[in-house]
Amino acid sequence: MGKIYNSAAEALDGLLFDGMLIAAGGFGLCGIPENLIAAIRDAGTKDLTVASNNAGVDGFGLGVLLESRQVKKMMSSYVGENDEFMRQYLSGELELEFNPQGTLAERMRSGGCGIPGFYTKTGVGTVIAEGKEVKQFNGEDYILEEGIFADLSIVKAWKADETGNLVFRKTARNFNPPAAMCGKVCVVEVEEIVPTGSLDPDLIHLPGIYVNRLVQGNFEKRIEQRTVREA
């Protein structure tokens, strides 16, 4: 069954619907599925809930979906680089479900493994724990967190073979593997698609069993925060 599509729009064809939950890979501007995000913007799909470590920046990454008012709710751990995100949240236009970073990653991974929930100490005694079940193990309190089961996963990888086996490059191997795992359908954009059998099996980061559709894209290498020494 062929997994390769000619464009991001084609790769998403028939998958998008209003009110859906999308799990998006990436960290800041590193390893984000920018072509798929742009295709979702162009499709006009609205009332989205997006599970992602952060929401990109103004005018790029998930920030473009915030600007077009297509996102209803974010499930994130870090949101400090996007002024439009902050404006919408503080004005009550955007729902926000804060997750500790490790908890968010584990919620995605758990969903991908078919695990509906797990207990963690992270967040005990804070606002994160409000409304959640608390259980004791060895005299310590733990809170119940639910796995994320997304309608769609969108991720970015460095290389893929024709069956969808993925290799991520350096720090772009951040939230992409767990985000890819937790979607009912996973669409991946890559820098290069190579013939099946050309990737070293020991170097594959995510097996193709998780990947439904592939598209090769063009990417803009942005720097989120440029810091230089004084001359």
pTM of the model: 0.93
Q: Per-residue confidence of the chain (231 residues) as pLDDT tens digits?
A: 689 999 999 999 999 999 999 999 998 889 999 999 999 999 999 999 999 998 888 889 999 999 999 999 999 998 877 889 999 999 999 999 999 999 999 999 999 999 999 999 999 999 999 999 999 999 999 999 999 999 999 999 999 999 999 999 999 999 999 999 999 999 999 999 999 999 999 999 999 999 999 999 888 777 767 788 887
The predicted structure's pLDDT at residue 130: 94
DSSP string of 67-84?
HTT-EEEEEES--TT-HH
CATH classification number, 4-115+147-216, choose in 3.30.70.360, 3.40.1080.10, 3.10.20.740, 3.30.70.141: 3.40.1080.10
Residues 90-123 have pLDDT tens digits of 999 999 999 999 999 999 999 999 999 999 999 9
Residue boundaries of the structural domains of the chain: 4-115+147-216
Residue 1: the pLDDT is: 61
